[in-house]
Amino acid sequence: TVGWFRFNAKKSQRIVIECLAESLDSRLDPVLAVVDAAGRELERSRTGGLIDFAAPTEGVYTLKVSDFLYRGGDEYFYRLTLSTGPRIDFALPAAGLPGTKTNITFYGRNLPGGKPSKDFVVGGKPLDQVTVEVAFPAADRVLRLNPGLLLRPSDIAVDAFEYRLKSPKGPSNPLLLGLATIPL
């Protein structure tokens, strides 16, 4: 089964296309492809379900979503997101002491105030980086994790809190920042 989706993009607009399947317990092994109006393939993701697409010209583009082996059915569902908003890939350091403020450098795409990273390039495209002072909650005031957050079983054992970057285009995806027990 193949899904086709059309979207508009402005020249040089950075659109992050993400297909969640495995984390939702789907059997889909997603393959994504972006094609232009002439049918030329511009970007493809064979693994990971993520495309970082910069439109070469203003126009209408088509996104193709399929399973790696073109299987389909009720067990091959997915959550598809196309966004020009911020997306965090990771942060350094990824933890801080409870009750302190720590400078954290976030790496990702479309980060507010971000600049291209010289150290981290994914698929030939540099990630954005931005440093933000983050207030880590006191250990006794840590909120329970958002039940809507998709977590791996190993994440449950970590003392952490959910953090999102704010931007005019809306908040970023959530990232877990750990609570350290000793100075980093």
> Which pLDDT tens digit goes with each residue over 68-93?
998 999 999 999 999 999 999 999 99
Residue 159 pLDDT: 81
Mean pLDDT score, 35-47: 94
Average pLDDT, integer, range 18-25: 91
The pLDDT, as a whole number, for residue 52 is: 96
CA–CA separation, 147 and 141 (whole Å): 18
Structure-model confidence comparison of residues 151 and 66, the more confident one: 66
Report in angstroms the alpha-carbon separations of 90 from 8, 15, 95, 114. 28, 18, 11, 14
Report which of residues 170 and 184 the model is more confident about: 170
Q: Is-contact 91 177, C-beta < 8 A?
A: yes
Q: What pLDDT does 23 receive?
A: 85
Mean per-residue pLDDT for 51-66? 97
pLDDT above 60: residue 22 = yes
Structure confidence at residue 155 (pLDDT): 59
The pLDDT, as a whole number, for residue 139 is 73
pLDDT digits (tens, 9 = 90+) for 142-172: 555 554 565 565 555 578 888 999 999 999 9
What value does the mean pLDDT take over residues 16-42? 95
CA distance linking residue 31 with residue 38, whole number of Å: 20
pLDDT in tens, 98-139: 999 999 999 999 999 999 999 999 988 999 999 999 999 987
- Rounded CA-CA distance 153/173 in Å is 19
Sheet with 101-109, side-by-side order of all strands = 87-92, 101-109, 125-135, 115-122
